[in-house]
Structure 1
Amino acid sequence: ISRKRWIEIACATPARMFGLYPRKGTITPGADADIVLYDPNTTQVHSAATHHMAVDYSCYEGRETTGKVHTVLSRGRVVIEDGHYLGSAGHGRFLKRDTCQYLR
């Protein structure tokens, strides 16, 4: 699929479904965009040891996939880089949802 279609599927459509568009799902002035730098050619092996979650298991344990997130920026700050979490508690912000845009 094209890069434009991938962004529509992965970003804009979910934001519309959850009533958060255009606050999420687009990179425009005033939007609360999280930007992901993704390398579609890198392979990785999934493991609970490398996930940034409060669980000790992964249903994808040992599975090799192609494509990997390199860097994540949240509200202008780097929060993940080279597999390391650099964020801090309290950085997130609650966004009140609206109705799904497809149901209006």
Structure 2
Amino acid sequence: MQVKLLALSLFASFFATGFTVPIYGHLTERESAIIKPIIEGLKVEPNNFQAKCILQALTRVSTAFPEYPIDNLVARLPPKMFYPCFNTESPDKPKQC
């Protein structure tokens, strides 16, 4: 019985590893999953500041439109709405001399 449970748990862990979400910055897995479609639309790899900026922008929009779940909002918003998150100076950027 223990061998069957061990085999099942190994199979489940192997199967689940293919469906993980990349973690952006210091966000949680759920927060990263929420912003993933935006990141893919922008075709960028955000740093900590940019990932947090995108999540905060989404939070402001979802607060303004509470009748829409945040997952539906992500699908409706154009990626260019988040350009200001990438065009500002962030503390993560190295300074040019």
How does the TM-score come out when normalised to structure 1?
0.27
Greater strand fraction, Structure 1 or Structure 2: 1
Please, what TM-score do these two structures have when normalized by structure 2? Answer: 0.28
Larger Rg: 2
Structure with the bigger percentage of helix:
2
